[in-house]
Amino acid sequence: MRTFLRPTAFVDAPFALDGRTLRIAGGLVWASAVELILVDGGRRVVSELVPVDGLEEAIASLPDRPQRSARATLARIIGPRAPLLLGERTIRLDQPQVMAILNVTPDSFSDGGRHVTDPGEAAGAGVDMASAGAAIIDVGGESTRPGAATVWEQDEIGRVVPAVERLARAGVAVSIDTRKAAVMEAALAAGAGIVNDVSALTWDDRSRDVVSAARCPVVLMHHQGRPETMQKNPQYGDALIEVYDWLELRIAAAEASGIARDRILVDPGIGFGKAVRHNLAILNGLSLFHGLGCAIVLGASRKRFIGALSNEAPVTERLGGSVALALLGAQAGVQLLRVHDVAETVQALKMWRGLRDEALTPVR
């Protein structure tokens, strides 16, 4: 039997609620209840909503092994997330931050072809997104949209390195979005400070060693299947629990390769081998992933399921849904929001932060 804890019943501030709230990951979100989930044989056998002031008693009532697991999970939920140290830049993770998407590909689902032939223009777009409030610019040279073909690593290097170099020289914090060890090496040497791997370091046998040697942060993203076929017929028994379990295994593999847990971030992989209902189940249960003890990255911007829920809106007409999901992530305590529409998302987060700051200001 396995134990899971999902923080919920979020409150604006913990004032006058001593002992009745949990601060999530050292951030700006407090939960007043926790969903206690017990899973046996792949099935949820218990799902109980427990007020925070009753959580100790509920955990103490569990058998020994699930009790130890619950206590370890609870410690990971409330433990502060270390800031990202990216060269001269420090990205704090005690508040939601924006990771901007910069594709230098001819075929990405949202903006393919806009920047693939002009590194200067690509870097300029990245600088503009940083100026609009993005903390990190995530540069990718291979589309991993459903049906996308694999790109030869030297072609991918040729696309990303010129943009990474220019952005790094401009003082921008840069992430490299790739599955390939050679691309990771080239981009890190060019000034990138974090690796964002949609395969969670499973596609290339050398990738874990590259990240470990570089001592850089890494995003491990869940996926089911390969980009060419991942949306054909994805199957899950319990999508939320299965994604959590898979990420837990990938964290353990990364740690075994010498990658410290405080340098690991996790991404549930919205749209990567998931039907609409799977995406929605994961988003509804998003705060469960705090139990992994890693910062969370949410990349739901302009995804196909937004269109599916809004009269098949094309990719250019998914801004409202994208911002709504970014705010859902912020409210659930997500640390990094990976988005296309930087200015709009930053503005929405400023409103969220303003409300939060007011709630955290003592009444005089």
Provide the pairing of β-strand 218-221 with 194-197: parallel
Q: What pLDDT does 243 receive?
A: 98
Q: What pLDDT does 92 receive?
A: 97
Is residue 10 situated within a structural domain?
A: yes
Whether residue 333 contacts residue 290, with contact meaning beta carbons closer than 8 Å, is answered with yes
Q: What pLDDT does 113 receive?
A: 52
Same domain, 94 and 197: yes
Domain boundary among 78, 95, 126: 78
Same domain, 127 and 38: no
Same domain, 101 and 237: yes
Using DSSP's 3-state secondary structure scheme, residue 264 falls into strand
Same domain, 45 and 132: no
Nearest in space to 196 (alpha carbons), one of 219, 217, 214, 173: 219
CATH, residue 152: 3.20.20.20
Summarize pLDDT for 163-184 with one digit per residue, the tens: 999 999 999 999 999 999 999 9
Q: What pLDDT does 232 receive?
A: 76
Same domain, 119 and 243: yes
Domain ranges, residue 241: 84-357
Same domain, 131 and 61: no
Domain boundary among 18, 45, 78: 78
**And the tokens for 241?**
């629990």
Alpha carbons within 13 A on the beta-carbon side of 169: 10
Please state the pTM of the whole predicted model.
Answer: 0.95
Same domain, 63 and 108: no
CA 297, CA 177: separation in Å to the nearest integer?
13
Helices 342-359, 319-331: axis angle to 10 degrees equals 30
Domain count, the chain: 2
Told to judge if 274 belongs to the known catalytic residues of this protein, a careful annotator would answer: no
Same domain, 198 and 138: yes
CA 188, CA 206: separation in Å to the nearest integer?
15
Using DSSP's 3-state secondary structure scheme, residue 166 falls into helix
Q: What pLDDT does 230 receive?
A: 67
Q: Is the dihedral of CA 53, 54, 57, 63 positive or negative?
A: negative
Same domain, 96 and 23: no
CA 168, CA 191: separation in Å to the nearest integer?
5
Q: Active site residue: 303, 304, 318, 356, which one? A: 303
Whether residue 91 contacts residue 98, with contact meaning beta carbons closer than 8 Å, is answered with no
Told to judge if 303 belongs to the known catalytic residues of this protein, a careful annotator would answer: yes
Residues in the chain predicted with pLDDT less than 70, given as ranges, are 107-117, 147, 228-230, 364
Domain boundary among 34, 52, 78: 78
Q: What pLDDT does 88 receive?
A: 84
Looking at every residue in the chain, the average pLDDT score rounds to 94
Question: What are the φ and ψ backbone dihedral angles of 56, each rounded to 5 degrees?
Answer: -60, -45
Q: Active site residue: 208, 250, 302, 338, which one? A: 338
Q: What pLDDT does 323 receive?
A: 98
Same domain, 99 and 213: yes
